[in-house]
Chains A and B, each alone.
Chain A
Amino acid sequence: MPKPRSPVVELTLARMREFTREPEAIFWVFVFPLLLALSLGFAFREKPPDKIPIGVLAGAHANERLAALKKSPVLLPRIVTEEEAHLALRRGKISLLVAGDAAPVYRFDTTRPDARAARIEADGALQAAAGRRDVFRASEEHVSERGSRYIDFLVPGLLGMNLMGTGIWGVAFSVVNARMRKLLKRLVATPMRKRDYLLAHIFSRLGFLVIETIVVVTFGWLVFDVGVNGSLATFAVLCVIGGIAFTGIGLLISSRARTIEAVSGMANLVMMPMWICSGVFFSYERFPDSIKPFIRVLPLTALNDALRLVMNDAASIASIAPQLAVLAAWAILTFLVGLKIFRWQ
């Protein structure tokens, strides 16, 4: 008879087998992130910026102004009546209204960036039509470098989000399911060490994390030309520590829950703030400075920031040390607390 393998190895193998025999799990871990990246990638693909729609109030100067504004490459002007104008402005169908008699009056919402741009552009076009001469002729250089496009921002964010989702869901469902089936109770009735069970979850997650990361990164590289500019070793260390942190959070979330509903609610509660705040789809720089320190210690923020630094800016392992420290702290704390308060029966 072959010598029995160590309990951790057997538990890890069992967990991996269970996972690969669950077709839904394969979809959520491997297919879903690709679909998401594909749809978002196309929604935000590189294309000439849209022209800004503006209105010219019907009246004595309307037609000459319309002609002047049409010469601008960024404006899309049309003539509107007073009633139309009010509604169109409010609904955002036009960003700016050109009114006034001899001297134009610009009516717009100052908090809208495109409205401010439209005001400057419209004023320039009308001034030129009225005879103003440019002092000099400036030229333009357009920037669309690898690493500065939206998709370069998005792919690391999606990878981080996917590592969070699969780490938390993968562990939480399997633990709560085993608890509901009284399998946990059966396991503690053996001489199995409790920490081996939790470690096996972490190890099996890491196995899938490797595949999952390779799939997402390869996809981003082939389809959107988003690569890993930094060292692959640094990237791998980061993904592994990030993956362990979220597996730990998954263990903590599922440490007491008795039903799938309870653990789902808890997982959503934990992940929701990170989906919003941790810079998956847009930068958290827009949040007030006072709450940024809190956002930065969220594990997904740390992972996303570090992934972007490594993938886009080729950052070294030393320069992502703060983020690695945040992730490692989450991993260790959640594992220890989870093990302590774990409900086995």
Chain B
Amino acid sequence: MKAIIAATVLGVILMFAGLFVKEKKSVASLAVFLLFVLLGVNIWDLVTTAPNETLSFFNNMLRVDRYALWFNTLMTGCTLLYALLVSKEIQRVGSHVAEYFALICFILCGVYMLSTYNNVLILFIGIEILSIPQYILAGSDKRNLKSSEASLKYFLMGAFSTGILLMGITLLYGATGTFNIIQYTFLQSDMLSPMALAGILFLMVAFAFKVSAAPMHMWTPDVYDGAPTPFTAFMATIVKASAFVAFMRLFSVSFGAISSDWMMVLAIITAATLFVGNITAVFQQSVKRMLAYSSIAQAGFMLFAVLAVNATAWQGMMIYAVAYSVATIGMFAVLMKMKDYTYDGFNGLAKKDPMLAAFTTVFLLSLAGIPLTGGFMAKYFVLLAAVEQGKMMWLVIFALFMAAVSAYYYFRVIMAMYFKQGNAELNTEVSATDRFLLAITVLLVIVLGAAPNLILNI
């Protein structure tokens, strides 16, 4: 609760700071400082809440539990890591640095709402708060046509999906007469009205759009590719993870009891997402675009957590969110150092900068889910949840096959770095601070892989 207010106020402070502070560097430092404060507020929230306590705010509009607080804290931590790693690149995007950071603060406000909502109206508001700043961030490189195109496309399709979301909420309200997600648990399978079912399916489609699941994924490659790289990194990680937590909160808490009514449809969406994401990524020439498809593919894995509807699934979602975010942020941070975003741009990086190449390798191994990295543990937990649930073994096997396909396009980068001749040109000098931060990120990836209980037992 405190965090929602803090995020808003800090965002406003940053906006005004942009009016009075002209030096980009000082604005960025201020933003990083304020994100530290925000992390502190989150930790404050966390430690003042007892492990099994559940708090309600605003006439039961928000319901705060330990899981949500811990998720918020971790996501804020990831944002801080992100801000530290890419603040230089954000300064290079355009002249409105303070606004970019303010928008990131507002997005975090949306993240907090999405992890604690107890009412579908708050869900709607949260999704809007999450989305609108993204439309702006996607188009923040105003002189670049691709950036403007991405922004417009995202806005148009986002508006379309918002309509679907509202449609779902409306139908559900019509069927049950309430917005409270706890009240939805009284829905029963054998007397489920078509109106309620249609509402649930519309909500599922709207969420599928937000998390870029097939066939609602079409915007993802164009937007991620067109948006300025630092903001793509943010959109593909923290935003996507929190959309997933919102998805799971509604479908596990409210519709968990009637999971048999929507599970098959979601399973087909999952299969389609895994297929499209992994298969299309194979043919890409640009690493940035490959990462966009990879984020679709990873979403396919995260959907398993939504599908499984059990305790392991919640753990799996938590670790997937963190492991995937950390590795992807690291990968994007490296990508931003490169002059050429194609695979060929990475040729011979291992000779030129062995340290950077080694870091990149760890991030890619984590994304591919190789053991001893966080990505492996994340995949392990979500698939374990699905296996425990037991109804979708065919999908688990399919997912494993697709994970093998994913190794192809991740390893292509490693191949380029280590086995190809070339002169990988760097865009900017990789400073000692960058190296230090990247080393910390690598360490996080490995720690998550070796001791996932660190973030699961809270």
A binds B: no
B residues sitting closer than 8 Å to A (CB atoms) are none
